[in-house]
Amino acid sequence: NPGCRIVETYSGVLNSIGLQNSGVDHFVAQELSAFSFAGRPIIVNIAFETLDDLVETVEVLKGSALKISALELNVSCPNVTRGGMTWGIHPESLESAVTAARRAWNGILWVKLSPQAPSVGEFAELSQGCGAEAVVVGNTWLGMAIDNERERPFFENVFAGLSGPAVFPLALRAVWEAAGAVEIPVIGCGGISRPQDALSMILAGASAVEVGTALFVDSRLPASICRELERHLREKGLSSVGDLVGRARR
């Protein structure tokens, strides 16, 4: 997106980046191989404006020489004018997108849901019914900022996606709702800034977590999360993280 794209808040970040990328052909030809060095599963997040865009993107990814472990279908980006969360806030649109992705992609399919959806639990259940193997809950919350000197919104699109610690309690509630609605794994995402936050997400029902904004502050947070999970397992006499998933619900 043009103009100002990031504004810090008291407890998070507003962003209106707009899904900037070089396109799927360039990504597969020039960038994807750079991720192979770590020897870890590669999960590709895909965005689209039309169903034809979606299918064409999937076909290009299927031609990659590198194994892609899963596709994460992005139906939740709040700061683009076409596509993004417009696919994820109406059940009919979500159903058509997930169904098209499922038909085009034979591998594992995740759906990244929008917290702006009327019911995260119902939309998670709909995704499961259309063939998703996991749902990611969720993306950023809509917010805005005003430039008081200009007396105008900071962002050209007016609204932007809020992430960071401020949204964690909201994201935790959404994970709880989704985990209670589906049998497939829920990936917790939103506001995780401390190891304890990741543990809370897992106890609420997340099988795994994603971390974003906090990495701007602490690039070692993933390692700290692993240590916290190991400590908690020892303290509770449990053997694996799987034993913690949804433990707060029992």
Q: Which residues are catalytic?
A: 77
The Cα angle at residue 74 between residues 94 and 174, in degrees rounded to 5: 75
End-to-end CA distance of the chain: 45
* C-alpha torsion angle, residues 147, 164, 17, 84 (rounded to 10): -120
What residue type is assigned to position 124 of the chain?
A
Phi/psi for 133 (5° steps) reads -90, -15
- Give the integer Cα–Cα distance in Å for 229 and 218: 18
Strands 146-147 and 152-153: antiparallel
